[in-house]
Amino acid sequence: MRFYNQIAISVAALIFGISPSLAQQPQNPQANPLDNVPDKMPFNIPYGAPITAARAQDVIQAAEREANRRGWPVNIAVVDSGGNLVSFLRMDGAQLASIAISEHKARASVKYRRATRVYEDAVQKSDYKYILSLDDAIASRGGIPLVEDGKIIGGVGCSGGAGSQDEVVCTAGAAVINK
């Protein structure tokens, strides 16, 4: 009888494209980290009044100084607490495709109340592909929420270089608000 069971397992494995040795092993699923239920709501920063045009310009100028210092032509976008564009700069020589990407990063950082690097890490380091199905998410660093007095007043997004370059430029701009 044991012989026939082995044959049945081997035939089933061939039909379903499974290695016969894997078909015989008992399945021992690991715990899914997405099933973890946090005690507190993550990234629960309240939205505040929208950033003013003057403050948005301050963020742009700080980011531009950092980009110029390093010789990186990028696009820099600042959105308000509702995700609406307030200020934008396309540096000379910045790639055209990155105009929309910089705005997208800024919007996503406000809508989801977290830096876009969180999504990049989720996809690249944790293989959480479901992130790519979220509306208006972007799995690329370079989007940072602007938080003043514990409330999100806007977001800054940078694009045109490598993700790490975009993040460095955005961090310099966000430092004007995020203390």
All structural domains of the chain? 2-30 (no CATH), 53-174 (3.30.450.150)
Q: Which of 86, 89, 84, 56 is nearest to 72 (CA)?
A: 89
Largest CA distance in the chain: 82
**pTM assigned to the model:** 0.80
What is the Cα–Cα distance from 111 to 69, expressed in whole angstroms? 30
pLDDT at 1 over 70: no
Question: Quick one: pLDDT band at residue 32, thresholds 50, 70, 90?
Answer: confident
Rounded mean pLDDT, 93-107: 98
What is the β-pairing status of strands 75-80 and 143-148?
Answer: unpaired
Q: Please name the amino acid found at residue 103.
A: E
Q: Which residues of 140-165 are buried (b: 16+ CB within 10 A; e: fewer)?
A: bbbbbbbbbeeebbbbbbbbbbebeb
Contact at 8 Å (CB) between 74 and 161?
yes
Contact at 8 Å (CB) between 137 and 131?
yes
Kindly state the tokens that stand for 6.
């082995």
What is the Cα–Cα distance from 50 to 87, expressed in whole angstroms? 12
Contact at 8 Å (CB) between 74 and 92?
no
Residues 6+ apart with CB under 8 A from 178: 144, 146, 147, 148
Q: Which of 8-17, 29-38, 61-70, 165-174 has the lowest mean pLDDT?
A: 8-17
Question: Quick one: pLDDT band at residue 165, thresholds 50, 70, 90?
Answer: very high
Rounded mean pLDDT, 150-176: 98
pLDDT in tens, 52-64: 999 999 999 999 9
What is the Cα–Cα distance from 85 to 53, expressed in whole angstroms? 10
Tokens 């005690």, located at residue: 39
